[in-house]
Amino acid sequence: EAQVTQNPRYLITVTGKKLTVTCSQNMNHEYMSWYRQDPGLGLRQIYYSMNVEVTDKGDVPEGYKVSRKEKRNFPLILESPSPNQTSLYFCASSSTISAEKLFFGSGTQLSVL
Amino acid sequence: QKEVEQDPGPLSVPEGAIVSLNCTYSNSAFQYFMWYRQYSRKGPELLMYTYSSGNKEDGRFTAQVDKSSKYISLFIRDSQPSDSATYLCAMRGGNYGGSQGNLIFGKGTKLSVKP
């Protein structure tokens, strides 16, 4: 089954404790992206990657890091989480041929205390 | 002015009603227009997409794009309780590569269809 898998689904952590949210896709997509979704603000792009070893900032990259060492994986790293990073996070991927069709993961609900 | 504006609702309609959801945008370079549907506690899923201006129909759903007015619409006929979700419009430019290929999303309209 074609899918984007995010883990964990829910995460509660404390300020300053480094964490990683994993994202993996099984569709051989070139493009991958991370979004955060907040009430009243909608989906905002954090980072994206056009292919392996190619990443770039989105609209709200501060406080986040990413890497793309393999085509299927695109982890999101919060080196020193803060309460304002409490949000619902989505990973997404698409092929370059059908760039309009983004496949989203099920989301990670992060709470930073 | 934000690139994409979408009325957040919420919008509540009775079952069987015709629903109209809309977005306006400011960037004339946008050429691909999408509607995503997001159920509660799920990731968005692509519902329909249109290239440039015109209409596209898929069952009970019709997407319209008016590039001259920078206005897109999604119509839902004979709405059902299962249509209750948040609907997000999205759009991007014609060139795929770099930031031009990224989708720009509206904030979403929450729709509730009452039985």
Q: Cβ contacts of residue B22 below 8 Å, gap of 6+? A: B6, B7, B71, B72, B73, B74
Task: Map residue A83 onto helix, strand or coil.
Answer: helix
- Asked if residue B88 has pLDDT above 80, the reply is yes
The closest alpha carbon to B38, from B95, B106, B92, B114, belongs to B106
| B14: phi then psi, degrees, rounded to nearest 5 | -80, 155
- Asked if residue B1 has pLDDT above 60, the reply is no
Ramachandran assignment for B41, one of left (phi > 0), alpha (psi -120 to 50 degrees), beta (any other): left
The whole-chain average pLDDT of chain B stands at 90
CA distance A84 to chain B (A): 19
- Asked if residue B36 has pLDDT above 60, the reply is yes
Give exposure, B84-93, as e/b (b: 16+ Cβ within 10 Å).
Answer: bbbbbbbbbb
Q: Is-cis flag, bond preceding B10, omega within 30?
A: yes
Whether residues B8 and A40 touch (CB distance < 8 A) is answered with yes
- Please give the pLDDT value at position A52: 94
Q: Cβ contacts of residue A27 below 8 Å, gap of 6+? A: A2, A3, A93, A95, A103
How far lies A37's CA from each of A4, A71, A105, in Å? Answer: 17, 24, 13
Q: Which residue of A has its CA nearest to B108?
A: A42
Interface test with B, best of A43, A47, A88 (most B CBs within 10 A): A43
* Pair B35, B44: CB distance under 8 Å: no
Higher pLDDT, B51 or A47: A47
Whether residues B96 and A4 touch (CB distance < 8 A) is answered with no
* Pair B47, B111: CB distance under 8 Å: no
* Pair A12, A108: CB distance under 8 Å: no
pLDDT, tens digit (0-9, with 9 covering 90-100), for B61-87: 999 999 999 999 999 999 999 999 999
pLDDT, tens digit (0-9, with 9 covering 90-100), for A27-51: 999 999 999 999 989 899 999 999 9
- Asked if residue A19 has pLDDT above 90, the reply is yes
Q: Which residue of A has its CA nearest to B98?
A: A50
Interface residue A4 vs chain B (CB under 8 A): yes
- Please give the pLDDT value at position A97: 74
The closest alpha carbon to A47, from A37, A36, A61, belongs to A61
Confidence band of B101 (pLDDT split at 50, 70, 90): low
Query: pLDDT exceeding 70 applies to what percent of chain B?
Result: 91
- Please give the pLDDT value at position A62: 97
